[in-house]
């Protein structure tokens, strides 16, 4: 590659992609298996934890966030933070609204 | 890469000497190809963040109603087939992989590899929609699509729905609770439908890209379009990963 392509542009190779593919497939098997086990309160938490792990792998490697500019990383982190704030404040409101009256 | 992209005739200036020598795809309001690529990448991310807020609103609505009408949502989700859901998750993850490989092929200038990856992604995307169609038709047959013909019998009398009953042994729900399964299916169709709409748009763009890639596009070092489309495709994959967990998996007990 010439300088035209820029020195900062990292090309992620097939090896990484294959590894992530298998990690994602393993995560899928694991989360389906976990859903068959009765863990009560923990079932949704484990399912969401595995989903978040899979999503993070997709973000970092398939979507190249690990190799992207600081500006992009900051924007994504800011967006996710804002989203989580909105969701948790909304849920906190709905869950606590009828507190004690059930 | 040698200077075969020079826009000036090779004879007029020695290679690499012209001040205006730059790839034809570099727009004039950017200083460098790198700046141009970073800018469009950032813009794509801003778009995806708005998409995240859009789907996030649906997820939040789902969580609130699931919290309120827990029994109805559990009974509703028992109607979903985990086998189809798992298969679709695998199909979508594989399509994300082929898309990522497509980006790599574009970056390393492999035309036939790029075309193959895009075609595989296209086929896997269609496969996902095919499986989704099978699932939707099951819901239509059982009258579990919200509306005038919505049928509560699977929830008022679970034994009347033997296929589901033998797996979950659900207890009959009182009418006021059973009615809220319609809310579950409203959110189910809204969320998976919006996801499927994104898939359909993506598959349409993939078709366009296959057409262009066969003619030799995207392998000149200017991979922004393929890269940004890849981001969109992977984003859809992430949405499905959460849909699968929330709609299919968390209410099985």
User: Quick one: pLDDT at residue B218?
Assistant: 93
**Cβ contacts of B22 on chain A, cutoff 8 Å:** 4
Name the residue among A1, A11, A91 with its Cβ closest to that of B63.
A91
User: Quick one: pLDDT at residue A41?
Assistant: 86
The mean pLDDT value of chain A amounts to 88
Name the residue among A11, A34, A72 with its Cβ closest to that of B107.
A11
User: Quick one: pLDDT at residue B107?
Assistant: 93
User: Quick one: pLDDT at residue A3?
Assistant: 40
User: Quick one: pLDDT at residue B206?
Assistant: 97
User: Quick one: pLDDT at residue A9?
Assistant: 73
Q: How confident is the model at residue A6 (pLDDT cuts 50, 70, 90)?
A: very low
CA separation for the pair B203, B130 (Å, rounded): 13
Are A63 and B230 a contacting pair at CB < 8 A? yes
* Among B residues 143-182, those touching chain A with beta carbons less than 8 Å apart: none
User: Quick one: pLDDT at residue A102?
Assistant: 55
Predicted structure pTM score: 0.89
User: Quick one: pLDDT at residue A7?
Assistant: 46
User: Quick one: pLDDT at residue B99?
Assistant: 97
User: Quick one: pLDDT at residue A99?
Assistant: 74
User: Quick one: pLDDT at residue B12?
Assistant: 45
Residues (pLDDT < 50) of chain B are: 1-17
Are A32 and B41 a contacting pair at CB < 8 A? no
Backbone angles phi, psi at B134, to 5 degrees: -60, -45
Are A87 and B252 a contacting pair at CB < 8 A? no
User: Quick one: pLDDT at residue A96?
Assistant: 85
Q: What is the mean pLDDT of residues A79-93?
A: 94
- Taking the Cβ of residue B11 and every Cβ of chain A, the question of whether any pair is shorter than 8 Å is answered with no
Q: How confident is the model at residue A95 (pLDDT cuts 50, 70, 90)?
A: confident
- Helix locations, chain B, DSSP H: 33-68, 70-77, 82-107, 111-141, 153-156, 162-168, 175-178, 181-214, 224-243
pLDDT tens readout for residues B40-81:
999 999 999 999 999 999 999 999 999 899 999 999 999 999
Q: What is the mean pLDDT of residues A72-82?
A: 95
Are A87 and B63 a contacting pair at CB < 8 A? yes
User: Quick one: pLDDT at residue A39?
Assistant: 87
Residue B102 burial (C-beta neighbours within 10 Å; 0-12, 13-18, 19+): buried
User: Quick one: pLDDT at residue B19?
Assistant: 53
Would you identify the CATH topology of the domain B54-249?
Answer: 1.20.120
- The better pLDDT of the pair A3, A72 is held by A72
User: Quick one: pLDDT at residue B34?
Assistant: 85
CA separation for the pair A9, A16 (Å, rounded): 16
């Amino acid at each position: 590659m010439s300088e035209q392509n820029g020195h900062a542009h990292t090309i992620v190779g097939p090896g990484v992609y294959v590894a992530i593919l298998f990690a994602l497939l393993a995560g899928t098997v694991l989360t389906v298996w976990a859903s068959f086990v009765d863990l009560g309160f923990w079932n949704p938490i484990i399912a969401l934890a595995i989903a978040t792990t899979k999503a993070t792998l997709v973000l970092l490697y398939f979507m190249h966030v690990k190799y992207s500019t600081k500006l992009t990383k900051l924007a994504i982190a800011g967006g996710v933070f804002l989203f989580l704030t909105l969701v948790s404040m909304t849920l906190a409101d709905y869950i606590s609204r009828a507190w004690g009256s059930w | 890469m040698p200077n075969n992209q020079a826009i000036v005739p090779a004879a007029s200036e020695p290679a690499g000497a012209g001040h205006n020598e730059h790839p034809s795809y570099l727009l004039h309001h950017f200083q460098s190809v790198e700046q141009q690529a970073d800018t469009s990448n950032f813009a794509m991310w801003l778009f995806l963040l708005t998409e995240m807020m859009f789907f996030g609103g649906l997820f939040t609505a789902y969580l609130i109603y699931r919290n309120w009408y827990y029994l109805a949502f559990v009974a509703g989700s028992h109607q979903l087939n985990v086998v189809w859901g798992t298969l679709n998750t695998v199909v979508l993850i594989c399509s994300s992989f082929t898309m990522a490989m497509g980006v790599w092929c574009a970056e390393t200038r492999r035309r036939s590899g790029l075309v193959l990856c895009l075609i595989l992604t296209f086929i896997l995307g269609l496969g996902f929609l095919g499986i989704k169609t099978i699932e939707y038709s099951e819901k239509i047959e059982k009258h579990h699509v919200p509306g005038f013909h919505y049928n509560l019998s699977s929830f008022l009398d679970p034994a009347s729905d033997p296929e589901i009953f033998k797996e979950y042994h659900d207890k009959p729900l009182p009418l006021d609770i059973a009615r809220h399964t319609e809310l579950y299916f409203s959110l189910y169709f809204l969320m998976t439908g919006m996801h499927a709409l994104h898939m359909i748009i993506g598959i349409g763009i993939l078709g366009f890209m296959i057409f262009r890639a066969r003619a030799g596009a995207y392998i000149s070092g200017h991979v922004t379009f393929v890269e940004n489309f890849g981001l969109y495709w992977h984003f859809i994959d992430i949405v499905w990963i959460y849909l699968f967990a929330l709609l299919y998996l968390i209410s099985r007990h």
